[in-house]
Structure 1
């Protein structure tokens, strides 16, 4: 499925075919993809964002504000894999390997969450640079939350 990149959310990292691993909706889900990307923030400045792409019969729609908890966790997994990729992305001229845009394949529910750079985004080379810079700018903000999440997961025995 081609993800439209001309909308408010410009995808950079995607997990397509999400409908195959979408919790209890797997195999019958209307959520075809989850992504991390750029959105226009206040004052027109780019901000990092996450999106669940809902597939209606006619088009991909805007996401709902309410998410099932498993989707929140799946987005957390996507964020972690993206952060891991961008820690090493400096090795690539364009912050990813255009020949192999895949980042990871995470087994879930008898299928997989396939994480990759969104090569359907016609402006990926520019958008990935902005995305990487915003990740760097928000490093302290995101790191604080990731450390808190890590502590919570350890306390739960994970």
Structure 2
């Protein structure tokens, strides 16, 4: 299915077969494509790039399609990777985290640091963290495949 090029987000680089590789949702997903393009929310006279997940309901392109600035996509990737690393050693804690030290890491970015921490404000954190850990484990093969692909690409780019 072709991603529309006539809407406010102007796709430049696309993956129009995303429904075939959308993890466990592959084939049975409404996420039909991904794109990098010119953001729909740009300020006048300013051009921003965004990444977009294109959702299709079967009848029309969905308003639930998501558009994110590229730096947020990368920040989310950092959050995912630091979380995965935490859960590799989380078995050492009774509740998969140290309630006295909820901060997992502070990642230096633009003169400050992005804090990665367990959400201790969540009233059900001890149950929810177990569910998250188990789900990450259950999806480990799929996540690892994507991380290996990303690692290879970053290595090829010199990072």
2: CA distance between counterparts of 1:65 and 1:127? 25
What 5-or-longer segments of structure 2 have no aligned partner?
Answer: 1-24, 26-63
| 1:141 equivalent in structure 2 | 142
What 5-or-longer segments of structure 1 have no aligned partner?
Answer: 1-40, 42-62
2: CA distance between counterparts of 1:64 and 1:98? 36
| 1:68 equivalent in structure 2 | 69
| 2:116 equivalent in structure 1 | 115
TM-score when normalising by structure 2: 0.59
How many residues are treated as equivalent by the alignment? Answer: 97
Larger Rg: 2
Q: What value does the CA root-mean-square deviation take over the aligned residues?
A: 1.6
1: CA distance between counterparts of 2:134 and 2:158? 34
TM-score when normalising by structure 1: 0.59
2: CA distance between counterparts of 1:96 and 1:119? 10
Choose between structure 1 and 2 for higher RCO, CA contacts under 8 A separated by at least 6 residues.
1
Superimposed CA distance per residue, residues 19-62 of structure 1 (whole angstroms, 9 cap, x where no aligned partner): xxxxxxxxxxxxxxxxxxxxxx9xxxxxxxxxxxxxxxxxxxxx
- In structure 2, the CA distance between the partners of 1:116 and 1:64, relative to structure 1 (3 Å rule), is farther
Alignment of structure 1 residues 55-134 onto 2, 5 Å: 65-134=66-135
Q: For residue 64 of structure 1, report the CA deviation from its aligned partner.
A: 7.3
Q: For residue 109 of structure 1, report the CA deviation from its aligned partner.
A: 0.4
2: CA distance between counterparts of 1:125 and 1:95? 8
